[in-house]
């Protein structure tokens, strides 16, 4: 059984004091849900403080991005070694806001995926998903396939145990419109099939595929009940410890 992973993407939100308090709140609540893995993904400038706040808890530390070069003249960028130094375990790549607001392509994502998976202590959460017009034009599978094929090109299957896929339909992110459980399961099953072609069936069966897009405590149970949904990547609802805890509880209960 794949262990569900529920990760909170805090995006560009919270003051330092708020980030510390939220991290402490999540750490105290997460202690009761042993079979779900929990992560928090603060803004870069809060990663160190949040790492301190969750020390000794069962909450893992994440980062929202990483650059692929090891060091050098890349103003504003953050290397994987800097993240490792701070105790980061999970690194997001290709979040829809990076793709569609900041112009990141799957080719850029591919460099980041390699840089992250080349560090044995890091796991990569690679985000994919279609825009509304793509779903309406029946292109959901094509978009997901090309984001997987291009973003994961050249990844060694031995490293895929540290790969997590987040399926996040862009039309569901931050909109309050979540995919139905049937839409989520259909996309996740398709993604697992594509992972089997890229790696092999056993590897695909072991890779966790999170659903993301307006997950809340009130809709988490039905989404998490789907066989190929292995947890959630949560934006807005991860900014409230109680709401986030409700999602963790739903994932833990569904995958017991």
Catalytic residues: 95, 168
- The minimum distance between CB 7 and ligand PEP, in angstroms, equals 9
Return the number of the residue (79 or 226) whose C-beta is nearest ligand PEP: 226
Q: ∠ at Cα 253 (127, 5), nearest 5°?
A: 25
Give the nearest residue (CB) to ligand PEP.
235
Q: Cα torsion for 213, 127, 138, 217, to the nearest 10°?
A: -20
Which residues, 6 to 65, sit near ligand PEP by CB under 6 A? 9
Interaxial angle between packed helices 217-224 and 241-254, expressed in degrees from 0 to 180 and rounded to the nearest 10: 20
Residue selected from 42, 169, 231, 236 as contacting ligand PEP according to rule CB under 6 A: 236
Return the number of the residue (34 or 174) whose C-beta is nearest ligand PEP: 174
Q: What is the 3-state secondary structure (H, E, C) of 40-99?
A: EECCHHHHHHHHHHCCCCCEEEEECCCCCCCCCCCCCCCCHHHHHHCCCCEEEECCHHHH
Q: How many residues bind to ligand PEP according to rule CB under 6 A?
A: 13
Binding segment for ligand PEP (CB under 6 A), chosen from 17-25, 29-37, 185-193, 235-243, is 235-243
CA atoms of 188 and 134, how far apart (whole Å): 17
- Considering the rule CB under 6 A, would residue 214 count as an interface residue with ligand PEP? yes
**Interaction site with ligand PEP (CB under 6 A):** 9, 168, 173-174, 212-215, 233-237
């Amino acid at each position: 059984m794949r262990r569900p992973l529920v990760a909170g993407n805090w995006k560009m939100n919270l003051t330092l004091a708020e980030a510390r308090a939220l991290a402490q709140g999540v750490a105290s609540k997460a202690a009761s849900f042993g079979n779900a893995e929990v992560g928090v993904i603060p803004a870069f400038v809060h990663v160190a403080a949040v790492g301190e706040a969750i020390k000794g808890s069962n909450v893992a530390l994440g980062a929202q991005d990483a650059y692929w070069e090891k060091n050098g003249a890349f103003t504003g960028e953050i290397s994987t070694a800097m993240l490792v130094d701070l105790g980061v375990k999970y690194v997001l790549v290709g979040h829809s806001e990076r793709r569609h607001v900041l112009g990141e392509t799957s080719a850029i994502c591919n460099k980041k995926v390699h840089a992250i998976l080349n560090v044995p202590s890091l796991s990569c959460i690679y985000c994919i998903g279609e825009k509304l017009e793509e779903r309406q034009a029946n292109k959901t599978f094509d978009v997901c396939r090309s984001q997987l094929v291009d973003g994961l090109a050249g990844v060694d299957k031995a490293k895929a145990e540290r790969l997590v896929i987040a399926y996040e339909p862009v039309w569901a992110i931050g909109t309050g419109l979540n995919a139905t459980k049937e839409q989520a399961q259909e996309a996740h099953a398709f993604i697992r099939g594509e992972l089997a072609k890229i790696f092999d069936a056993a590897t695909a069966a072991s890779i966790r595929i999170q659903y993301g897009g307006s997950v809340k405590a009130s809709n988490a149970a039905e989404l998490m009940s789907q066989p190929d949904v292995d947890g959630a990547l949560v934006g807005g609802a991860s900014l409230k410890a109680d709401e986030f805890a409700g999602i963790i509880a739903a994932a833990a209960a569904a995958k017991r």
